[in-house]
Structure 1
């Protein structure tokens, strides 16, 4: 079987990583999968024309009901869709998008949600199609790097603990961009860190949005919370120590990872630096 697979493919994002992983599994199962960026197409008619001009396509698949699934509304082949977090957390709030997403869900042969919570919310906000939505958690593949030294990794990030084995390190893999702003964790985690100095938060990921990264660096520095390997500048001890431990990774680090972008077990509404959520969710 040959499938057309549509997904938002911005570099270094969870969508891109997830799409490549799914494509790989489809091909390992003996099928042919052509992965295309949803941004290449302007309308459902463009995708319909592609499929009608290439009858070898027998089915289609899409990540994100609105961003990619809407492009399959005019196709004549069966298709399935995979929910993205933006579908339920953002797009359902916009009436025009929600109507389109309902149409996509009604036409799709099946839909996949990565968590039970995502399925439940989809059934609340969209058409209740319990028999059509399947929950399939994302798998995570890790590989051991023989040259990697955990102690040196932490030290290069600013951690100066004498006994690294006693630390409780929370590692958040997240590209720094406005829609995935991870810094709302800082205030609450700082308080937790002050209660127990062994609790360390490390944020690692690429600088996907250079403009937003520059804004974050400016805000952090203006508040006296961080200077690259600087001594404390009189700022809050809690914030200083937490940020110094994560500063290289949080604002300057890079990572290539097998992780997708849907692993969070908690949700926080709104944007900005005033958001609150349980540190335990990290």
Structure 2
């Protein structure tokens, strides 16, 4: 089957990684899957021309609003994969919520990554009962990568020997919903007491205004460093060498960074929100925190070997 797959494909973001992973799964079972950036289309009419020209037989969209709205009225069957933003954020806006409800009514099926995400969707759109299915993301096999840790430390402007250095990595695009500043102050205070402890924020500059705010704040926070986006392979290598992966988002669908850290057997320290709690079992597969000070307490607990 020839499938059109729509997603927002900003480089080195969770959406792009998830979309590529789903495409690979579809192609592995024999389908032809053409992945397109939803932001490249200004209207459903423009998308209809592509569907006709490429003779697509079905379509799939990641995110009910950003991708799904473009599929309304198309002459091929389509399905929807919920993200975090559509359920957690876009439903707060009346027009978007109404559009998403209409898309969901037209879709043949919808996929949620977790039970809690499905429940949230059904609370908003009860008419979708019977067409929402649960499927965990899964992860791709991690490649073996040669990576120079000292080069990374230099790039992060950490002028210390790698010996006895404790790096906590927070991976996210710089936008408010990811709340990368949530732990900045407490980690900076900890660094002043223990100079070998650092938090490094890694990710693309998604929101220019918020990015400027983050940069200004980080400049004043000793022990907190900011790095831009980087290739996925390098990011995996950094995760393998760091002390723990941190997530401080206000909302998540299913964090690819957390899943990949688990696969790499790296400790996970995550903010206690529904999307994170759906995949992190406290004190078994990671640690969940609801306050910055608790977050650094758990980080110290990890550092001390869980004692």
Counterpart contact for 1:98–1:126, Cα < 8 Å: no
1:125-164 Cα deviation digits (max 9, x unpaired):
2336353222222233322212x24466457642747853
Counterpart residue number, 1:131: 130
Query: Structure 1 residues 134, 176: CA separation in 2 closer, same or farther (over 3 Å shift)?
Result: same
Task: Name the counterpart of 1:30.
Answer: 30
The separation in 2 between residues aligned to 1:136 and 1:65, in whole angstroms, is: 16
In structure 2, what is the equivalent of residue 145 of structure 1?
145
Tell me what 2:93 maps to: 94
- Offset of residue 60 of structure 1: 0.6
> Are the aligned partners of 1:4 and 1:57 in contact in 2 as well (CA < 8 Å)?
yes
Distance 1:44 1:208, change over 3 A: closer
Gaps of 5+ in 1: 226-239, 269-274
TM-score normalised to structure 1 length: 0.72
Paired residues in the alignment total 250
Query: How far apart in 2 are the matches of 1:76 and 1:133?
Result: 21
What TM-score, normalized by structure 2, do the two folds share?
A: 0.67
Q: What's 1:64 paired with?
A: 63
Mapping for residues 75-224 of structure 1, pairs under 5 Å? 75-127=74-126, 129-141=128-140, 142-146=142-146, 148-150=147-149, 153-154=152-153, 157=156, 158=158, 160=160, 163-164=163-164, 167=166, 169-190=167-188, 200-209=198-207, 212-221=210-219, 224=220
The one of 197, 222, 231 aligned to 1:256:
231
- For structure 2, the 5+ residue unaligned runs are 237-251, 259-269, 274-289, 300-307
Per the TM alignment, residue 99 of structure 1 is displaced from its structure 2 partner at its CA by 1.4
Measured on the aligned residues, the alpha-carbon RMSD in Å equals: 3.6
C-alpha distance in 1 between matches for 2:96 and 2:272: 21
Q: Distance in 1 between matches of 2:60 and 2:171?
A: 27
Alpha-carbon separation, structure 1, partners of 2:208 and 2:85: 21
2:3 touches 2:32 (CA, 8 Å); kept in 1?
Answer: yes
